[in-house]
Amino acid sequence: MKKVLITGASGFIGSFLVEEGLKQGFQVYAGIRKSSSRAYLQDPGIVFIEFDFSTREKVLETLAQCKAENIRFQYIVHNAGLTKAQKKEDFYNVNCRNTIHFIEALIQADMVPEKFIFVSSLAAFGPGNPDTGEPVRHTHEPKPIELYGKSKLEAERYITSLKDFPWLIVRPTGVYGPKEKDYFVFFQTINRGMEPYIGFRKQTLTFIYVRDLVRLIFIAMTSSFIHKAWFVSDGKEYPSEQFAEITKRALGKKTIRFTVPLFLVKTIATVGERVAGLWGNIPTLNKDKYNVLKSTNWRCEVEPLEQDFGFKAEYDLEKGVQEALDWYKKEKWL
Ligand SMILES: NC(=O)c1ccc[n+]([C@@H]2O[C@H](COP(=O)([O-])OP(=O)(O)OC[C@H]3O[C@@H](n4cnc5c(N)ncnc54)[C@H](OP(=O)(O)O)[C@@H]3O)[C@@H](O)[C@H]2O)c1
């Protein structure tokens, strides 16, 4: 049985990665923290390993225990990451420094797997050109517009500098599905009869349903590719109104539509950041978030997924939103 270690296993995408690994007959090791919830990791076949990535030495201690128990991972999906942070430095520490500690420790402990797949983000490259509407491509110069994307890009730069390390990188666009908490806020808002928009310019969004993403990650991981990165979306483009339309239809709701002007969002973000900054914190609506909200082109290239793997998403937004909403209702989130 091949062994796969999935870090960030307790989170939204991580728990689906674990499920997919078990479904495909891998021995699945769930990399979690002491404090992590195991609520979505109930399968008795899962083996838990507690990692602390904050120093290379701490990772080495855990790897030494693995070695002592004769555990060698053929595959590692490094999915642990921060998408929201209270302090600015947390993004860099978790998304970049921890990744470096992890890889350095794997090399030092002589536990380099056959394949190490890093879950980055489209945010590492930032949005596409708003004027041409061209999708973000791997040949483009990365231009992340917020600290999250910058920290993912820094990690990518370290990883791609490694010539003898078997890395792969996936850069998903917005991921949605059961258990997810950010798009859920939008679903909740629509469910309450409100349909908010930010700014008057049309936005083009892209998405990937979580089950398609984890399927793709396993395809890439077990492929013969090394030293390659892919953007991941379902291959379609959605005007922001269409996201709302699909959600309204699935929920059977009528809504009141309103637009918050960009200047107002910017003012709230700037003032909020100054005030919270006095304590070294980042408010939920901050200047980075404003930059993301005002970006209009979130297209990314997906042709390489089809060329390299013949990959086609099984879920478009309509099908994925319906399945996600069914789950939220079943679990009484909605
Ligand atoms: N969701 C998206 O739309 C999206 C899009 C592109 C890329 N991604 C990437 O996908 C990955 C998973 O994201 P997600 O949406 O599933 O987020 P999530 O639900 O917040 O899960 C994040 C996971 O990372 C773990 N983690 C956070 N800080 C850590 C630390 N200091 N040390 C060890 N583990 C830590 C969390 O552990 P705890 O449970 O202990 O907190 C959790 O298991 C991230 O790398 C994210 O950047 C997400």
Residues 44-73: tens digit of each pLDDT: 999 999 999 999 999 999 999 999 999 999
Please check whether residue 49 lies inside any domain of the structure. Answer: yes
Domains identified in the chain, total number: 1
The answer to which of 22-36, 66-80, 212-226, 267-281 has the lowest mean pLDDT is 267-281
Average pLDDT, the chain: 95
CATH number at residue 30: 3.40.50.720
In a domain, 72, yes or no: yes
In-domain check, residue 218: yes
| Ligand 1 centroid to residue 13 C-alpha, Å | 7
pLDDT of residue 255: 96
Tell me which residue has its CA closest to atom 13 in ligand 1: 13
Q: Examine the pLDDT at 202 and tell me if it is beyond 90.
A: no
How confident is the model over 12-41, as a mean pLDDT? 98
Mean pLDDT of 234-257: 96
Residue 241, in any domain of the structure: no
Asked whether residue 253 is domain-assigned, the answer is: no
Question: What digits encode the pLDDT tens for the residues 106-139?
Answer: 999 999 999 999 999 999 999 999 999 999 999 9
Do the domain assignments include residue 264? no
Q: What percent of the chain has pLDDT over 90?
A: 85
Alpha-carbon distance of 328 to 239, in angstroms, equals 24
For residue 106, the surrounding DSSP H or E stretch is helix 98-108
Rounded to an integer, the average pLDDT of 212-224 is 98
Q: Is 121 a member of any domain?
A: yes
Q: Which of 212, 124, 214 is nearest to 160 (CA)?
A: 124
Domain assignment present for residue 228? The answer is yes
**What pTM was estimated for this model as a whole?**
0.96
254-286 confidence digits (pLDDT tens): 999 998 888 888 888 788 878 887 787 877 788
Residue-wise DSSP of 148-181? HHHHHHHHHHHHHT-SSS-EEEEEE-EEE-TT-S
Query: 40 lies in which domain range?
Result: 3-180+206-235+298-314
Query: Rg (Cα) of the chain, in Å, rounded?
Result: 20
- For residue 122, the ligand 1 atom closest to its alpha carbon is 6
**Atom number, ligand 1, closest to the C-alpha of residue 8:** 43
Q: Find the 259 Cα to ligand 1 centroid distance in Å.
A: 31
Per-residue confidence (pLDDT) for residue 11, from 0 to 100: 98
Pocket of ligand 1 (CB under 6 A): 8, 10-14, 33, 35-37, 53, 79-83, 94, 98, 119, 121, 172, 174-175
- The residue whose C-alpha atom lies closest to atom 35 belonging to ligand 1 is 80
Distance 84 CA to ligand 1 centre (A): 9
What spacing in Å lies between the alpha carbon of 89 and ligand 1's midpoint? Answer: 16
Atom of ligand 1 nearest to the CA of 37: 39
Among residues 131, 117, 111, the alpha carbon closest in space to that of 66 is found at 111
Q: How many degrees, rounded to 5, is the angle at CA 230 between CA 224 and CA 231?
A: 155
Residue minimizing CA distance to atom 46 of ligand 1: 81
